[in-house]
Amino acid sequence: MLDQKIYNDRKIKVLEAVVHDYILSGEPIGSRQLAKRNSFHLSPASLRNIMSDLEDEGLLQSPHPSAGRIPSDAGYRYYINQLIQLENLTQEEKQFIQDRVHEISPNENEILEITSHILSSISKQLGVILATNFYQGIFEKMTLLPVGTNKVLMALKIKSGLVRTVVVEIKTTLSEEQCQNVAQIINERMAGRTLEKIKNSLDIVFGDIISVDSPGFDLIRLFVDKAFSMIEADETKRLHIDGTRHIISQSQFFSQREILTIIEFLEEKEALVHLLESRDKQGGVFITIGGENKEGEFKSCTILTSPYNVGDVSGTLGIIGPTRMSYHRVIPLLSYTSEVLNEVFGHKV
């Protein structure tokens, strides 16, 4: 009788081989193929029995009768958790990522736009990035500067170093000194608080001002209101997507209905923002496979995400594709790109 440990070791090696070969070929793997491609020193019949046991355990599945076997979601999960051998990016790939990201201006959105393209072009999957949540940042300073008749440039800075600016039209003309006085009052009251907490407690932070009927206090209220309307602007603008063509081109792994459903979800940008935000507290590369995804639209997909940081606020970058994916390549790509963004924004802050 075959030793149980030897048998289990063989099962693990067969699972690893099926996952590896299926990722490479995209075709269901049969026992005869496996006997030829791998040095198991086992007959096709013995391999077929082992593959049948793996199917019974839910780690392999048969897409069609007599069509060979492919990994199930559980099979991919076991492979990623226990068997995967990550492949480092080449020096050329690392240099390409470094060069492309570092050559961009300090503008966060421009950096993330090119980064989503990098993720897509190297992985041949969908690259998605959710920019940092400015609203979660800690207020550092508001600067007000007259820029013309009845116009003031307002710049709101959080401690991460990120800045949002807007030109505000007012009913009167303010001198530079008047702007500084208004900004000083705002800065004293908002310093050290997150923008979210300030917004949720405006009546406490500015309660005595809100109750006073004075043109000067009206200006303070105006600039505070403008600040929050600016940071609460369209949340979907935080989203950067590249590589939808890769989803469409992989029709052998998705039905037409699945492709349409995925594309429709991607177009509903608010839903995608919510999906990525729900994963931004996960450390390192976080992976959900097929049925592990709560969103029904991604039951045939794998979603990989990793956080990046800009000071005290964080964003999320990710890769989305079919469950058949080169995990050994994609995981290091996502991890390294996250490190590069942390480095770039660390220098720019």
**Could you report the per-residue pLDDT of 281-325, keeping only the tens digit for each?**
777 899 999 999 998 889 999 999 999 988 778 899 999 999 999
Q: What's the pLDDT score for residue 209?
A: 64
User: Regarding predicted confidence, which is higher, 223 or 340?
Assistant: 340
- CATH code of the domain made up of 4-83: 1.10.10.10
Q: At which residue do the structure tokens 């959080």 appear?
A: 158
Structural tokens at position 148: 């013309």
Of 131, 155, 173, 174, the closest CA to residue 227 belongs to 155
- CATH code of the domain made up of 91-133+236-348: 3.30.450.40
Q: Give the domain 135-231 fold.
A: Enolase-like; domain 1 (3.30.390)
Give Cα 307 distance to the centre of its chain.
Answer: 7
Structural tokens at position 110: 């421009």
Q: pLDDT category, 38, cuts 50, 70, 90? A: low
Reply yes or no on whether the pLDDT at 30 is more than 80.
yes
Q: Kindly report, residue by residue over 220-249, the tens digit of the pLDDT.
A: 777 777 777 766 655 677 899 999 999 888
Indicate the residue type of 36: K
Q: Given this chain, do its domains 4-83 and 91-133+236-348 carry the same CATH topology? A: no
Structural tokens at position 9: 């070791």
Q: What's the pLDDT score for residue 1?
A: 39
Q: At which residue do the structure tokens 């559980």 appear?
A: 74
Domain boundaries, the chain: 4-83, 91-133+236-348, 135-231
Q: What's the pLDDT score for residue 349?
A: 46
Cα separation values, 137 from 81, 140, 158, 165, 311, Å:
34, 9, 6, 15, 9
Q: Kindly report, residue by residue over 105-160, the tens digit of the pLDDT.
A: 667 788 899 999 999 999 999 999 998 877 778 888 889 998 888 888 988 888 77
| CA–CA distance, 282 with 284 (Å, rounded to integer) | 7
CB 311 within 8 A of CB 134: no
